[in-house]
Chain A
Amino acid sequence: MPPRIACLLVPNLPLHAEIRAHPDLATGPLAVASGPESRAEIIAASPAARSAGVQSTHSVAQARAACPELRVRVASPALERAAREALLDVALSLSPRAEIAPRTPGLFFSEGKVFLDASGIQGLFHSEQGFASALLARSEAQGLPGLVAVASSRSVSLLAARHRMSGGPPLHCLPREAEASFLAPLALDLFDPDDRLAQALTRLGIHTVRDLLRLPRRGLAQRLGPGVLALLARARGEDADSALPEPTSTRVEEAIDLENPVDHLEPLGFILRGLISRLCERLALRGLACGALDLRMRLEGGAQDARRIGLAAPSLDLRVLLRLTTLALAERAPHAPIEQIALGSEGIPSRTDQLDLFLPRGPDPAALGRTLTELESICGEGRVGMPQVLDHHDPLGFALGPFTPPGRESPSPAPGPLPAPLPALRAIRPPLPAEVRVHGGKPAFVRSAVAQGDVVVAAGPWRTTGYWWSEEERFALDHFDLQVSDGSVIRLGFDWIKRSWQIDGIYD
């Protein structure tokens, strides 16, 4: 089956990248300039600005003179890169193979484009037209309105999409047999030849594909330069590019350059909300969830601040992710105003669960993941998870691991009858200091916030020591189980390192 390639093309990408990040700019005349100074060149203008007389060749001062209510934004490479990558995510939501087309320096430098494999899509979309419509709708939902063309090669699909820039419906599905007749009348400018070649062709009166294909091939490269052979191949609809690749990375990043440095958490919250929202939308397009957030900030003066915000489970919950991010920033605020902020995440597939016929259904893994993330945002990092018993003798030691419950088919660790209910220990963390009177080597009286009175029965001591080689972790404890006259049954320890008595648990 001959390959079919779709091209999703967004003209004026810098403009749409700005509107995507600042939706309030969608109304009214807007232009994007190459720099902050008044002589900077306008590189993209909205239809409202163009109808008011703003042109791409204008300087900012000229544009403002033509349209006094014009809002001018300085082009943000970070926003543009994110928008370009968002196009790839849109493409990958509908096709397994897609690639971002490199940015061209010439006439079409402000366009963003992505190629995707459209072979064999009839089973899903019935027609190429349906596929192109879906692609266009998803792109528009991401704030990137564009044009879609489907053809048998990258170059033809790109030309067909560019051809639609001048007018007509935004979709164009070109059958293979109609490509030659479609290409023939096209102006060579759509191929964006380099300046030298364009001048040479103009001198010779060659303006369309048809004119170019009429030229004798002998000695053509010697007369017009080697670039003409590539142009000829593209004019014939031949594609020299390699096959479209499958993506290997699931990393997604959104970034924004701030026009005015931000040094307060409150305005930063609005910016973060937008970043996280766009990040989640892109991950959702690829059927992934956010694994952990990497927050990078460029501060005034050039310093960098990077931090990683771990999540208990993959999540796409905007509210929870925003809360975790603001908590992380509130905990350790950046030491200088922020100039640029970038938020990245490795996309992780959501958890799935195999149901069992004989056992009740457990929580949906995705819902459980959302709950875990939200719990962590309430309790704090490292305070939600699965309890673990450490493999050493420290009686106070425990760990909290990530909550990844086993499947229902996984048996209990020690199958057999459940042990009879035992007097369980209720831990006191950190241990509570106690005043103790000793008689005959054993505690005889205890005074503390949890127990006070004469010791009725004392069992012990049991000595545990460990980690003698580590100054921070070493422990040496003598433990007693005591029944105190006030009715409480406690675990009292003598810490040989601190040389003090402490209660670290109540039998309850």
Chain B
Amino acid sequence: MPPGPLPARAPSPRGQTSPGDRIQQLLDDFGPRLQAGEALRKVRKQQAGPARQASGIAAIDELLEGGFSRGELSEITGPASSGRTSLLLSLLATTTTTTTTGGRPSAGGGAELAALVDTPDAFDPPSARAAGVDLRRILWARVSPWSEAMRCTERLLETEGLPLVVLDLAQSRGPSPGARSETRIPRSAWIRLARRAAASRTALVVLGEECRAGEQARVALELQPARARFTGFPPLLEEIETRALLVRAPGAGRHRSVSVRLGPASPGAKSFG
């Protein structure tokens, strides 16, 4: 039944109708709207989109429509020096530090734990601290080979309450003989991880040189190095410029790209306090 305007009813003096009549009157008034479930539909619509884990880089967050989705598997790929690690540290920083609104912690924002499964043993704590990551809230698992890393990730995804789990599969020591076959992870393993992430509402972010999770990744972001900028004399490494291309995304967002500058002068870093 389509919802319509409330019918006007003549006021009846209190005491002249029985409670049963009054209930019936209320049902007559609101019944159509209740049955149509307007309010419920509105709430469901609000909850339909997955919660997002902001990366802290405005351009990337805009590209991803708010950040990396919780409950889904996302991939960040690219060659060395493409800015993958900088993006990762920014993501960890926004997750582990407290976001505030008007001096009070904002609901659902920050001061949360994040887990990093580090297969190449490439996480650098001083860099992370410089990026604003609260190291006390990072669970760092240094594990190899990839099969054990997948087990660790699966176990972490079984732990409810971790909003972000990062699986770093990017090679740090360059290609080695047989490396390609070593990192060929079976599709079934990705299916398991994606299901676990969905069940625990955790944002699972996988870092690598190329897309590995296939269709299990709802979002795949490819970073392409543009240039490194050294300034001053003697020269100092100032920033890395990279291009972020959305190679996989639900809806119409696919193949959009943005240019990102990772350096002290980079615009659009969100303010947290």
Contact = CB atoms under 8 A, between A and B. Distances in A.
B191 interface: no
A358 B166 CA distance: 25
A412 B176 CA distance: 40
B271 A384 contact: no
B39 to A, nearest CB: 25
Contacts of B141: 375, 379, 383-384
Contacts of A364: 160-161
Contacts of A483: 228, 230
B125 A388 contact: yes
B174 to A, nearest CB: 3
B12 interface: no
Contacts of B137: 405-406
Interface stretch (B210-218, B231-239, B247-255): B231-239
B86 interface: yes
Interface stretch (A120-128, A223-231, A366-374): A366-374
B101 to A, nearest CB: 10
Interface in A425-483: 425-429, 432, 448-451, 457-460, 481, 483
Interface stretch (A67-75, A107-115, A256-264, A413-421): A413-421
Given A405-B113, A418-B93, A423-B240, A450 B172 contact: yes
Given A367-B160, A420-B264, A427 B124 contact: yes
B92 to A, nearest CB: 10
B111 A506 contact: no
A359 B265 CA distance: 32
A375 B155 contact: yes
A343 to B, nearest CB: 24
A412 B174 contact: no
B78 to A, nearest CB: 8
A126 B63 CA distance: 64
B122 interface: yes
Contacts of A488: 80-81
Given A359-B111, A420-B263, A427-B122, A387 B128 contact: yes
Contact of B264 (A359, A387, A422, A427): A422
B127 interface: yes
A411 interface: yes
Contacts of B131: 419, 421-422, 424
Interface stretch (B1-9, B28-36, B102-110): B102-110
A372 B162 CA distance: 13
B143 A360 contact: no
B57 A421 contact: yes
B74 interface: no
Interface string B202-231: 000000000000000000000001001010
B90 interface: yes
Contacts of B83: 423, 508
Contacts of B155: 371, 374-375, 378
Given A358-B105, A415-B273, A418-B132, A450 B125 contact: no
B151 interface: yes
Contacts of A363: 113, 159-162
A200 interface: no
Contacts of A386: 135-136, 138-140
A361 interface: yes
Query: Which DSSP category, helix, strand, loop or mixed, fits chain A's interface?
Result: loop
B121 A429 contact: yes
Contacts of A383: 141-143
Contacts of A371: 155-156, 158-159
Contacts of A405: 113, 136-137, 139
Interface residues of B, number: 84
A427 B123 contact: yes
B152 A375 contact: yes
B270 interface: yes
Contacts of B173: 428, 432, 449-450
A398 to B, nearest CB: 5
Contact of A457 (B124, B228, B272): B228
Interface string B82-101: 11111111100110111000
Contacts, number: 235
Contact of A423 (B86, B140, B175, B273): B86
A326 B50 CA distance: 42
A428 B172 CA distance: 6
A400 B142 CA distance: 10
A303 interface: no
B140 A400 contact: yes
A274 interface: no
A496 interface: no
Contact of B81 (A362, A378, A418, A507): A507
A51 to B, nearest CB: 51
B130 interface: yes
Nearest to A358: B105
Interface string A144-169: 00000000000000000000000000
A408 interface: yes
A379 B156 CA distance: 13
B79 interface: yes
A390 to B, nearest CB: 9
B20 interface: no
A57 B111 CA distance: 70
Nearest to A365: B161
B242 to A, nearest CB: 10
A35 interface: no
A11 interface: no
Contact of B172 (A358, A374, A481, A506): A506
B143 A424 contact: no
Nearest to B99: A418
A505 interface: yes
A359 B270 CA distance: 19
A359 B105 contact: yes
Q: Which of A419, A423, A450, A451 has the most CB of B within 10 A?
A: A423
B174 A450 contact: yes
B24 to A, nearest CB: 40
Contacts of A450: 80, 172-174
Given A418-B93, A419-B130, 11 more contacts: A362-B112, A387-B123, A408-B111, A412-B111, A414-B132, A415-B98, A418-B271, A420-B263, A420-B269, A421-B87, A425-B124
Interface of B: 56-57, 79-90, 93-94, 96-98, 104-105, 107-108, 111-113, 121-132, 134-143, 148, 151-152, 155-156, 158-163, 170, 172-176, 225, 228, 230, 234-237, 239-240, 262-266, 269-273
Q: Which 9 A-B pairs have the closest CB atoms?
A: A449-B174, A363-B161, A508-B85, A387-B125, A450-B174, A420-B269, A418-B132, A379-B143, A424-B86
10 contacts: A367-B160, A378-B143, A378-B152, A383-B141, A389-B126, A403-B139, A419-B264, A426-B170, A428-B172, A481-B230
